[in-house]
Structure 1
Amino acid sequence: MIPTETIVALATPSGAGAIAIIRLSGKDAIALADKVFVSVSGKELTNQKTHTIHLGHIVDNGKTYDQVLVSVFKNPHSYTGEDVVEISCHGSTFIQQQIIQLLLRMGAKMAQPGEFTLRAFLNGKLDLSQAEAVADLIASDNEASHQIAMQQMRGGFSNEIAQLRQELLNFASLIELELDFAEEDVEFADRTQFNELLTRIEFVLKRLIDSFAVGNVIKNGIPIAIVGEPNVGKSTLLNALLNEERAIVSDIAGTTRDTIEDELVIEGIGFRFIDTAGIRETTDHVESIGIKKTFEKIEQAQVVLYISPLTPKGELNSMP
């Protein structure tokens, strides 16, 4: 069942800033905003066209909270498919909270995390794949993950699957037609074309399954474990890659007892480098725990950089 309550929440990151946006969505969104908004030109929001912006003040019982810009989006031409109002106010946390509390008192309900996107999905503005891509797009921190999220949000996967589904339905209807006229010995469906379609569907599904693993790695950063014996330069390599003293370096064997991770973006792709404890036989209990973690990281990593005492300077052994 599609919810009908009007919801409100901060649409920009929490905390102080130059500007903050407070979003209302629901059948009473425009009417609720009208109760607290006083336009400088005396306009009422309920009488305004969709996709318009209005300058005014948020006022309650004669008290002015802020000068704001109010954007009006009428259903179904909005992100959620409902009436939507976005209030652009100054980014003071006090102003943000005062406006939100005022709207709650007027009858709005606090939105749950992701509820605006949920309503967009329920109202048919986004399919499930696109809705999931919204979170990935927000979380993208490099060019590769951004491009994947944008492609998914544009409906790249959904359109391909929808086209294959339509072709399957067409063939299914032709086969059912043959069954209805089985005694007539008439063929309506081209068997060769049908087999080609099944082969293409199998190929597309396999490609989508494979792309999930690749996309997940790109989104989270490609994990690269730096492994080797103690004192072969693993921590020195990590510090050199990051251009900072991220890991402690000393001549004492077994200095690194735990894994140290940090991310580096190279040509738009995130790489998560993991410095590990040196692998050797030891009676030290704490160091043994660190070595155990090293082997765990080796299993989880997409790439393993093995540094041996005999590795020439500037050369590395890479094990996928």
Structure 2
Amino acid sequence: MATKPLQRKPEWLKIKLNTDDNFKDLKNMMRSKTLHTVCEEAKCPNIHECWANRTATFMILGDICTRACRFCAVKTGLPTELDLQEPERVADAAAQMGLKHCVVTSVARDDLKDGGATIFAETIRAVRSKVPFCGVEVLIPDFMGDEASLQIVMDAKPDILNHNIETVERMSDHVRAKAKYSRSLELLARAKKMNLDIPTKSSIMIGVGEEWDEILQTMDDLRRHDCDIMTIGQYLQPTRKHLAVEKYYTPEQFALLKEEGMKRGFKHVESGPLVRSSYHAHEQVRSASQTSAP
């Protein structure tokens, strides 16, 4: 794939790194329990802020993804193992951290019959067992459109069902690998039909070549499929081998997108240059709950 040089980031994308004792303790704990976090694997720009506050997004099912999306820094290849004890270790870590809201995501595991849905469900139950008052949000892959796999996750009753549509329809095949725009929308709609009481959530990254009207259309598409929460963030090129940044949006433009989303009926919209799907996740849930209140 042709590559472009990394662009100089605007001032509003520059962050101060903070590797204090909380950050170091959390990193050591993750290593001791042989756990992965999307914070590290996907080179999230908020890792120092979130880890300093002792929050993290656990990445289950290993650290090798069966897909090779052009935006993602997670390693790709053929996974060699399935760790059946991982749910218990995630729950132990959540308890040790004293989490009030736990986010669990994964690599894509197209090599597994259920796409890893059973491990997701067991992780939800394990966290609930060891940390009863902790909310559990799952950020799932599309399971290749398999309805039975989605049902396994929904039966475990996560507090939030999150699946990222990632980009606008026109750019989807260029940006994502194997995933389909329409299939992502269908998954969100199916989740609502399976359990109307579980809020759904999705995210897009902007700056990969989309037009403003296409972002608004994506909002409309998500709302048409009854998606409750939306997050919008700036795409950042992780390495020169990945998709290049086509545009940096300003904080003012992100604020306008938040307004557009709220006008369309989302219960909460998190929109900003450094926003990622799980950024301030516990605050998103609280805001959405207050919006739903009579």
TM-score, length of structure 2 as denominator length: 0.21
- Whose radius of gyration is greater, 1 or 2? 1
Of the two structures, which has the highest relative contact order with CA contacts closer than 8 Å and spacing of 6 or more? 2
TM-score, length of structure 1 as denominator length: 0.20
